[in-house]
Amino acid sequence: MKSRQICWTVAMLLGLSACEEQGRPVPEGFGTTGARARGRTLFLEHCAICHGVGANGHGQRRQSLSGPPADFTDPSWPGRTPPERAFEIVRGGVPGTSMPAWKIFDEAQTWDLVSYLHAVASHGAEVAP
């Protein structure tokens, strides 16, 4: 467990993929209208409380978190966080922060959520389903 935490910490600091998730390919169908719509539903149900309904990092719980939640409306966010890395963050959380691991999502749901998050920066939080 300790080595996994160290691996995650180093990976996050260096901007690398998490150790056990390296090389996970982006699936076919990533970014489709259907994937974004399913991802938006997941986001509003599970993520908006911290990241805000507008996906701008201004959720109801923002003040009680250890650091500010990601602002997915920032146009530079997708460039700093490629889909593979976003997948890893959703699945594994970010140690030392309030971002939990979302193990309740299966792989397809996680990719749908990442599809939505990447579309938000380009098209806004109200990405049409």
pLDDT tens digit string along 84-115? 999 999 999 999 999 999 999 999 999 999 99
Please, which pLDDT band fits residue 125 given cuts at 50, 70 and 90? low
Whether pLDDT at 117 is above 50? yes
Please, which pLDDT band fits residue 8 given cuts at 50, 70 and 90? very low
| Whole-Å CA distances, 58 to 20, 79, 90, 102 | 31, 21, 18, 20
124 and 74 in contact (C-beta within 8 Å)?
Answer: no
The pLDDT value recorded for residue 122 is 81
Which amino acid is present at 58? H
The pLDDT value recorded for residue 85 is 96
R_g (Cα) of the chain, nearest Å: 14
Length of the chain: 129
Q: What are the DSSP E strand ranges found in 1-129?
A: none
Q: How many CA atoms are closer than 13 Å to the CA of 28, on its beta-carbon side?
A: 0
99 and 29 in contact (C-beta within 8 Å)?
Answer: no
Share of the chain above pLDDT 70, in %: 78
Alpha carbon distance 6, 23 (integer Å):
19
Among 15-24, 30-39, 72-81, 97-106, which is the least confidently predicted range? 15-24
CATH code at 31-123? 1.10.760.10
Per the prediction, the chain carries an average pLDDT of: 83
Domain boundaries, given as residue ranges, for the chain: 31-123
